[in-house]
Amino acid sequence: MTLQAGPLVSVVMSVFNGERFLREAVSSILEQNLREFELIIIDDGSTDGSGLILDSYQNSDVRVAVYHQENRGLIASLNRGCALARGKYIARMDADDITVRGRLQRQVEFMEDHPEVGVLGGAIEWIDTTGKSLLRCSFPTSDREIKSALRRGDCPLAHPTVLMQKEVFASVGGYRSAMVHAEDYDLWLRIADRFQLANLDAVVLKYRVHPNQVSVRRCGQQALSNLAARIAASSRRNGDPEPFDSAEEITPKMLAGLGVSEAKQQTLVVRGCLSCIRSMCDAGEYSVALDQLAEALRCSDMNLVESPEIADLRLLAARLYWHQRRIAMSILSVGQAVIARPKILGRPLKPLMRWLGLADAPSERISRC
């Protein structure tokens, strides 16, 4: 078997200590029915068995190219992998997810029929650590809807599902190192300035939800980077200078200098933490979620956070306490939520029951960044 001089698709994956789910992830790519691809894997300084697993795949399949490096972080690894890509298209993949069979074929066919589209994503199915299905996440499919969601602060393209035109990726300069944990959202905004975006309605990826994903520090930084990406996009639309071109990282001080109050920053951080912690609830990891919620409360200045976010934090705490059979604490947290925002008493009963886990959640949802 010989690799073609120019593969149609370059699948790019970054791995750091991903041993637990790595074989499933790599195998799901190698078993795709579209064969004209290369799989570029950057081993970003793994200290577990990831390197040996990756080398075994490289030795057995000519389509696999593994590059070992000292730990440089996700953004640097993805930029390196994309720079090495020889395909017309770049497909993203993470080391803990499972690509649905037929994904690459389906996405390539769409892109060949729609050359005006720079980035194409798709729906995802959330799974837990055992592979059990949790729920289906759908995203808007049209360019107009996707761009509208991006401007609102949502992330309507799931990073590990996307297929991008390599020329489009290169034309905007790739991922920006300052946008830590929101590097994909920032990339979509910059591509959206010049190209169309789309999603397939079909599920193309099984997205694994597990405790190692959740970190209050990560969620907080993601919220700040997300805000910076939106500020940058607004500046470009207004014809103003790009405020973060030379930034090495996004800091609260930098955002304050652009007129974003500390209260606004704290509220956005709490909102980001809520999104991450809810993922753990959806995966049934209630103890992990409660630990992360406690850390969020310690790390945030709650006096600055807006009342809707405080109320949502308290309701989420009530749900978690309820699942631990800590009924008194659950009732107390509901009371604190009502004190923070009395109007939640006007919510319909069913959504509140879902908060507490007493009613079934919808089988489908639109995910946020």
pLDDT digits (tens, 9 = 90+) for 175-231: 999 999 999 999 999 999 999 999 999 999 999 988 777 665 688 889 999 999 999
b/e burial code for range 156-180 (CB count within 10 A of at least 16 → b): bbbbbbbbbbbebbeebebbbebbb
172 confidence band (pLDDT: 50, 70, 90) = very high
Between residues 72 and 350, the one the model is more confident about: 72
pLDDT at 368 > cutoff 50: no
The torsion angles phi and psi of 88, rounded to 5 degrees, stand at: -70, -35
Nearest to 25 by CA among 93, 98, 89: 98
pLDDT confidence of residue 363: 47
Residue 88's nearest CA partner among 166, 199, 4, 178 is 166
Q: What's the whole-model pTM score?
A: 0.89
Give yes or no for a contact between 46 and 20, defined as CB atoms under 8 angstroms apart. Answer: no
pLDDT in tens, 223-275: 999 999 999 999 999 999 989 988 999 999 999 999 999 999 989 888 888 88
- Mean pLDDT along residues 85-94: 98
Q: Find, among 233, 280, 318, 17, the residue nearest to 126 by Cα.
A: 280
Give 60-75 pLDDT, tens digit per residue. Answer: 999 999 999 999 999 9
What band does 366 get if pLDDT is binned at 50, 70 and 90?
Answer: very low
**Eight-state DSSP code of residue 64:** E
How far lies 270's CA from each of 259, 262, 324, in Å?
Answer: 19, 12, 23
- The stretch 317-345 carries a mean pLDDT of 87
- Give the pLDDT confidence score for residue 361 in this predicted structure: 52
More confidently predicted of 242 and 109: 109
Q: Which residue type, as a one-letter code, is found at position 4?
A: Q
pLDDT at residue 352 above 80?
no
User: If 0-12 CB within 10 Å is exposed, 13-18 middle and 19+ buried, where does residue 269 land?
Assistant: buried
Domains and their CATH numbers in the chain: 9-208 (3.90.550.10), 213-358 (1.25.40)
